[in-house]
């Protein structure tokens, strides 16, 4: 949770660290110059949300509820056993911390290779971002290929370009191989409000093609109408290799597959601290201990301070989703005839899709520091009704929040804390594919093929300026700039 910071304290800190703050703003501006993912998942603390009172986020599994958030996904989850918590001292081969997509992807890849994997989850499988996200399979990182190209050069952009579609392939592979029932659908669409944004999407298509990805198709206004029944947009771009799914059911299915392959899962087992991280790690949990040969840390935005070395790499950011009551077939077909998922290209973006039972799942808005708005529906409903005026007054049955982990560079964070201790986190809001991809890279490295992991881990990282206390307000300052740009349409 972010601490509250008084205006005088913020001003004093600003005067002492003017240069760094300008770097935050300039950093965002360089993303902004990037036409592809301009700060997309890191949208602003909107004027409305700043007015909303905040309540403590479920930012940490030590808070009261260790059960799934009260979401549409939890209400429609497939049957899944509640696993017991660890109450003893054990010795294992591979220990994974975190039962979200990152931990599950790494664990399942390793179990498929015959490794003995034990996974520790502080709450329930899929409790974090993985079980409550928008369910959108969006290819690419938050930092666009053009940003990667500008920052790190063509060869790194080629390397990143060669792997950014692999996360979606991992998902499809798991779903098919392990027969996971999670309403997997194809296609996602990026939508534009004006011709400048359309030109940006065209550049994006060209750049992706340049790096060997040819699944994108531009849609003019009339072509877009075949996919989205909204008059709001002037066009868009469809990615035929994107898609959407029920994320909690994917996580639960991956956990079941892991256990079938001999893996062990402990739920409600919070890792409190780790000793011997640079030799044979000893993991302390709420009521037990795990000595392991290899350790993988995938607690992401909910890791809190249990691994202090990782805390400066990311900031928890809250984002929200709500679900309407089921729509009639006729209305659902009118709103989203091709059943694709949609996200717009603004800095403050909306993302939405249909569920399998024809509800509109509508997401948007972010709050730095991971605090939840008091009334998610009040925040999201006006945006939804702008896109689809037909939904004015429709009942919203579920509304919830969750935290993703934002990195300062908007590039995922992975690396080692010791020779056999690994971590992956910080997908900056583009994590459904990212977590599956980087889970695979973790498994690859642990199996001895370190090339791709090492290349990615070598990318420079920076802590958020302002430390734990000031990073959220600083980022908000940077964000106001983008809100303004959205408002005036530049």
Binding site for ligand FAD (CB under 6 A): 61, 97-103, 120-123, 127-130, 132-136, 138, 270-271, 298-303, 306, 319, 321, 351, 363, 402-404, 425, 427, 429-433, 435
CA distance 440 to 102: 8
Q: Provide the minimum distance between the beta carbon of 16 and ligand FAD in the complex, in angstroms, as a whole number.
A: 32
CA distance 24 to 17: 11
- DSSP, collapsed to helix, strand or coil, labels residue 42 as coil
**Residues with Cβ within 8 Å of residue 177, at least 6 apart in sequence:** 257
Tokens 């990195």 locate to: 407
Closest to ligand FAD by CB, 148 vs 290, is 290
Q: Provide the minimum distance between the beta carbon of 157 and ligand FAD in the complex, in angstroms, as a whole number.
A: 20
Closest to ligand FAD by CB, 72 vs 302, is 302
Q: Provide the minimum distance between the beta carbon of 400 and ligand FAD in the complex, in angstroms, as a whole number.
A: 7
Tokens 């298509």 locate to: 205
Q: Identify which of 45, 104, 48, 47 has the alpha carbon closest to the alpha carbon of residue 80.
A: 104
Q: Provide the minimum distance between the beta carbon of 305 and ligand FAD in the complex, in angstroms, as a whole number.
A: 9
* Type and span of the H or E element at 190: strand 185-192
Q: Identify which of 92, 431, 420 has the alpha carbon closest to the alpha carbon of residue 265.
A: 92
Closest to ligand FAD by CB, 129 vs 192, is 129
Closest to ligand FAD by CB, 134 vs 369, is 134
CA distances from 152 to 26, 29, 163, 459, 462 (A): 17, 17, 16, 8, 14
Phi, psi of 93 (to 5 degrees): -80, -70
Tokens 């730095």 locate to: 368
Closest to ligand FAD by CB, 161 vs 412, is 412
Closest to ligand FAD by CB, 42 vs 129, is 129
Q: Provide the minimum distance between the beta carbon of 10 and ligand FAD in the complex, in angstroms, as a whole number.
A: 26
Q: Provide the minimum distance between the beta carbon of 124 and ligand FAD in the complex, in angstroms, as a whole number.
A: 7
What residue number has its CB nearest to ligand FAD?
A: 431
**Residues with Cβ within 8 Å of residue 268, at least 6 apart in sequence:** 66, 85, 121, 122, 123, 124, 286
Closest to ligand FAD by CB, 120 vs 175, is 120
Q: Provide the minimum distance between the beta carbon of 435 and ligand FAD in the complex, in angstroms, as a whole number.
A: 4
* DSSP single-letter state for residue 466: T
């Amino acid at each position: 949770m972010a601490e509250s910071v008084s205006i005088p304290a913020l001003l004093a800190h600003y005067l002492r660290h003017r240069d760094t703050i300008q770097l935050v703003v300039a950093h965002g501006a360089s993303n902004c110059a990037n036409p592809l993912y301009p700060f997309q998942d890191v949208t602003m603390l909107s004027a409305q949300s700043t007015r909303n009172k905040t309540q403590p986020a479920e930012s940490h599994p030590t808070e009261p509820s260790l059960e799934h958030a009260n979401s549409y996904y939890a209400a429609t989850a497939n049957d899944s056993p509640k696993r017991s918590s660890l109450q003893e001292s054990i010795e294992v081969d591979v220990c994974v911390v975190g039962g979200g997509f990152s931990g599950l992807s790494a664990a399942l890849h390793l179990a498929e290779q015959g490794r003995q994997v034990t996974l520790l989850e502080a709450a329930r499988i899929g409790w974090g971002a993985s079980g409550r996200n928008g369910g959108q399979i969006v290819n690419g990182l938050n930092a666009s290929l053009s940003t990667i190209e500008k920052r790190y050069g063509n060869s790194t952009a080629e390397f990143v370009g060669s792997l950014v579609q692999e996360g979606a392939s991992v998902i499809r592979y798991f779903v098919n191989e392990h027969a996971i029932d999670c309403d997997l659908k194809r296609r996602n669409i990026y939508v534009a409000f004006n011709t400048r944004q359309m030109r940006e999407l065209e550049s994006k298509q060209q750049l992706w093609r340049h790096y060997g990805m040819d699944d994108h198709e531009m849609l003019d206004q009339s072509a877009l109408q075949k996919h989205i029944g909204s008059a709001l947009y002037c066009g868009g771009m469809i990615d035929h290799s994107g898609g959407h799914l029920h994320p909690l059911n994917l996580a639960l299915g991956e956990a079941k597959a892991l256990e079938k392959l001999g893996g062990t899962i402990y739920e409600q087992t919070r890792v409190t601290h780790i000793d011997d991280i640079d030799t044979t790690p000893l993991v302390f949990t709420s009521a037990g201990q795990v000595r392991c040969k290899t350790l993988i840390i995938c607690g992401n935005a909910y890791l809190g301070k249990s691994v202090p070395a990782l805390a400066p790499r990311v900031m928890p950011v809250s984002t929200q989703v709500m679900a309407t009551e089921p729509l009639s077939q006729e209305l659902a077909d009118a709103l989203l005839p091709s059943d694709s998922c949609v996200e717009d290209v603004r800095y403050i973006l909306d993302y939405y899709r249909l569920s399998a039972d024809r509800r509109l799942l509508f997401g948007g808005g972010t709050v730095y520091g991971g605090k939840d708005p008091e009334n998610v529906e009040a925040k999201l409903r006006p945006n939804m009704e702008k896109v689809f005026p037909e939904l004015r007054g429709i009942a919203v049955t579920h509304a919830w929040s969750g935290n993703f982990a934002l990195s300062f560079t908007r590039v995922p964070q992975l690396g080692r804390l010791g020779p056999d201790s690994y971590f992956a986190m910080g997908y900056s809001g583009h994590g459904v594919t990212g977590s599956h991809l980087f889970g695979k890279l973790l498994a690859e490295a642990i199996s001895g093929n370190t090339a791709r992991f090492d290349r990615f881990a070598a990318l420079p990282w920076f802590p958020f300026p302002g430390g734990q206390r000031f990073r959220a307000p600083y980022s908000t300052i940077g964000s106001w700039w983008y809100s303004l740009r959205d408002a005036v349409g530049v």
